Amino acid sequence: MTSQPPAPAAELSGRIRGGPSDLLHEELLAPQFQFEVRHLLEHYIAVEKTLASEYTRMGLLSAAEAHSVAALLDAVGPDTLTARPDANMSDIAFALERHVTAGLPAPLPRWHVDRSRNDLQACAQAMFGRDRIARLAGSLLELCAVLLERAEDTRGLPMPGYTHFQAAQIITPGFYLAAFTDQLLHTQRRLLHTYDGMNACPLGAGAMAGQELPWDRDRMARLLGFDRPHPNALTAVASRRWSAEATAELSLLGAALSRFVTDLLTWGGSEHGFIELPDELSGISSAMPQKKNYPVLERIRGRTAHLTAFHADVLLGQRNTPFSNLVEVSKEAGTHVLTAFDSAHGTVRLLTEVMRRLHFRADRMRAVCEREYLGGFSLANALTLTEGVPWRTAQVVAGKYVVSACEAGVSPRPGRPDLLTRAAAEQGLVLTAPAALLADAFDVDRGLARLASAGSAHPDAVRETLRSQRAAHEETRAAWDRRAEAVRAGASETNRALRPAGGER
């Protein structure tokens, strides 16, 4: 691509005599310029082309003139524009304006009339944020798909579930992963809500009070893939609520992921050994050759903490500022928004690969289920339902039995019926079938099979949960596809509107 020659020095305003100082250029403007050229340029170009189309609709530019502007805009790439304090004040909007002006065969006096950088910038930033949310949603969809597959494969595999860091009841990896998927589907719903909330086009707001020409804001919104224009001109240019809301969702996601990864770290420890990762996702100790470490899990959990920090940075950057267009809010407060999205995206990618490659060790998990007295709740239930023992008394009898069995070194199965009989006698009770009670209560597979409520860890209940989740997953994917199609359709309509007469290229 051949770039335009550098624009000569020019006055952009009669209010000040020269461009920014070298210090401002080096410390503030040039870095911002490079960031926007790299990450927002396509959005600025789309906005400029939409505005050119509107000038044609209003009769301020001919179709041929608008096409010339669009062709020059299409020729712009990351290497085309240069931050020049003397020619464009190191500002991307001015750089685009100067680039097009320099390339036109004749001046277009009405091009850029009734325009402000404020709504232009707010619009490009909203489009950038919209794209980043959609990109993250795509990575979450992939993680959900992996979790659904792994959950289906492991919904009948017994493992201990923990409450208060103590082994509590028998569950399955599939049941646990379904809970993980539920959290991610909830996050997807919130991201869709955030996307839709910010999907209001700021273009046409002007500097803060609206514009003087009859811009068709509904049309401009549609061409840029928004579902509506922003209803208030001041809010359109003053608010960056979307960045605070989006990073809030990243922070909440990070907190949730950290809890699930904490369980994986625990399960992967030598005391449990419930999971194993392949060598290519593992690490070693430099001093202890017997160790196989999982630093990837530590990295994932550590990275989730950054997401909360990025949200706090955005929020503090906006706090206590006037409600108007401000560089402090529009640029400084958004300094780490891209990093936040990139960090979230990378974290989800890492976790997806972990979940895809992770192996559950059925033998180790079953051994703990057989060793621990995870049927204590079932025993208390059976004492009440089959022996007529009042519920609270049944809890006392079951608890006393477990204590005496542990002291005697008795395993949960087959257990010691005489110890259960004695615990009941201490409460003035006589049991009719203590051996049958113990055999049933502490049977590992029965621990899953006896579960009857919807949403439980019973393999059939998990299957139903996964069926609903797969449907929700596909609905979510379709919802994101519809939003992406609206953006593509708007861009296509803009390009059609800017073709020269007859459609020749």
List pLDDT tens digits, range 332-346: 999 999 999 999 999
pLDDT at 7 (0 to 100): 44
| Res 86: pLDDT | 81
Range(s) for CATH 1.10.40 in the chain?
375-443
> Global pTM?
0.92
Sign of CA dihedral 88, 94, 95, 97: negative
Does residue 2 carry a pLDDT above 70? no
The counts of H helices and E strands in the chain are 21, 8
For residue 47, the model assigns a pLDDT of: 97
Largest CA distance in the chain: 105
CA-closest candidate to residue 137, choices 10, 7, 11, 253:
253
Domain with CATH 1.20.200.10 in the chain: 119-362+465-488
Per-residue pLDDT, 84:
86
Contact 329, 250 (CB under 8 A): no
Determine which helix (DSSP H) or strand (DSSP E) holds 161, and give its type and residue range. strand 159-163
Rounded to an integer, the average pLDDT of 394-422 is: 95
Helix (H, G, I), strand (E, B) or coil at 427: coil
Residue range 63-118, pLDDT digits in tens = 999 999 999 999 999 899 988 888 888 889 999 999 999 999 999 999 999 999 99
Which of 33-42, 287-296, 460-469 is predicted with the least confidence, judged by mean pLDDT? 287-296
Where residue 12 falls among pLDDT bands split at 50, 70, 90? Answer: low
Domain 375-443 has CATH 1.10.40: yes
Q: Which of 115, 277, 109, 288 has the alpha carbon at shortest distance from 203?
A: 115
pLDDT of residue 6: 46
Determine phi and psi for 201, rounding to 5 degrees: -80, 125
Query: Mean pLDDT over residues 34-57, rounded?
Result: 95
Is the predicted pLDDT of residue 4 greater than 90, yes or no? no
The span from the first CA to the last CA of the chain, in angstroms, equals 18
Q: Is the dihedral of CA 15, 16, 20, 23 positive or negative?
A: negative
Average pLDDT over residues 11-32: 81
Q: Which whole number is the average pLDDT over 398-421?
A: 95
For 168-182, how does the pLDDT look when each residue is reduced to its tens digit (9 = 90+)? 999 999 999 999 999
CA distance 175 to 156: 9
- Residue 501 — very low, low, confident or very high, per pLDDT cuts 50/70/90? low
pLDDT at 505: 42
pLDDT for 282: 78
Q: Is the dihedral of CA 140, 146, 150, 151 positive or negative?
A: positive
Q: In angstroms, rounded to a whole number, what is the distance separating the alpha carbons of residues 363 and 196?
A: 47
pLDDT, residue 341, reads 97
The answer to whether residue 502 scores a pLDDT higher than 70 is no
Mean pLDDT of 150-171: 96
CATH match of 119-362+465-488 with 3.30.420.40: no
Query: Of 246, 240, 244, 241, which is closest to residue 330 (Cα–Cα)?
Result: 240
Distances (CA, A) of 175 to 147, 206, 229, 358, 366: 11, 53, 44, 16, 15
Whether 500 has a pLDDT exceeding 50, the answer reads yes
Per-residue pLDDT reduced to its tens digit, 233-274: 999 999 999 999 999 999 999 999 999 999 999 999 999 999
Residue 198 has pLDDT above 70, yes or no: yes
Rounded Cα gap, residues 322 and 328, in angstroms? 10
Three-state DSSP at 266 gives helix
Mean pLDDT for 481-485 is 97
Query: Tokens standing for 239?
Result: 């608010």
Contacts of 75 (CB under 8 A, 6+ apart): 1, 103
Give the pLDDT of residue 15: 67
Summarize the confidence of residues 284-306 as an average pLDDT.
88
CB 304 within 8 A of CB 310: no
pLDDT mean across residues, the chain: 93
pLDDT of residue 100: 95
